[in-house]
Amino acid sequence: MPRLCDICRTDRAVLKRPKTLQSICRPCFYYVFETEIHHTITSSRLFQPGDRVAIGASGGKDSTVLAHVLKTLNERHRYGLELFLLSIDEGITGYRDDSLETVKRNQQQYDLPLKIVSYEELYRWSMDAIVKEVGLKNNCTFCGVFRRQALDRGAQMLRVDHIVTGHNADDIAETVLMNLLRGDVARLQRCTEIATTGEDGATGPEDRIVPRSKPFKYTYEKEIVMYAYFKKLDYFSTECIYSPNAYRGYARTFLKDLEAIRPSAIIDIIHAGEAFQVRHGVKMPTQGTCERCGYIASNRLCKACVLLEGLNRGLPRLGISRTGQHRTAEDIPAAKTVTVTVGDSSEVVRGGTNVADW
**Residues in the site for ligand ATP, rule: CB under 6 A?**
56-58, 60-63, 86-88, 90, 147, 165-167, 171
Q: Shortest Cβ contact with ligand ATP: which residue? A: 60
Q: Least distance (Å) from ligand ATP to the CB of residue 355?
A: 13
Report in angstroms how near the CB of residue 95 gets to ligand ATP at its nearest.
10
161 marked as part of a ligand binding site? no
91 is annotated as contributing to ligand binding: no
Residue 150, by phi and psi: left (phi above 0), alpha (psi -120 to 50) or beta?
alpha
Helix (H) or strand (E) holding 15: strand 15-16
Cβ proximity to ligand ATP: between 60 and 316 the closer is 60
> What contacts 275, CB < 8 A, 6 or more positions away?
none
Between strands 337-342 and 345-350, the pairing is antiparallel
In the Cβ-directed half-sphere of 21, how many Cα atoms lie within 13 Å? Answer: 6
Question: How many other C-beta atoms lie within 10 A of the C-beta of residue 283?
Answer: 8
Query: Which is nearer to ligand ATP, 19 or 68 (by Cβ)?
Result: 68
- Shortest separation between residue 323's beta carbon and ligand ATP, angstroms: 19
How far is the C-alpha of 341 from the C-alpha of 309, rounded, in Å? 48
Is 58 marked within a binding site? yes
- Indicate the residue among 23 and 219 with the shorter CB distance to ligand ATP: 219
Nearer to ligand ATP among residue 17 and residue 61 (C-beta):
61
Question: Of 125, 178, 168, 172, which is closest to residue 147 (Cα–Cα)?
Answer: 125
CB of 352 to ligand ATP, least distance (A): 8
Closest CB to ligand ATP among residues 238, 289 = 238
Calpha distance 272→229 (Å, rounded): 31
Binding-site sequence positions for ATP:
56-58, 62, 88, 166, 171
Binding-site sequence positions:
56-58, 62, 88, 166, 171
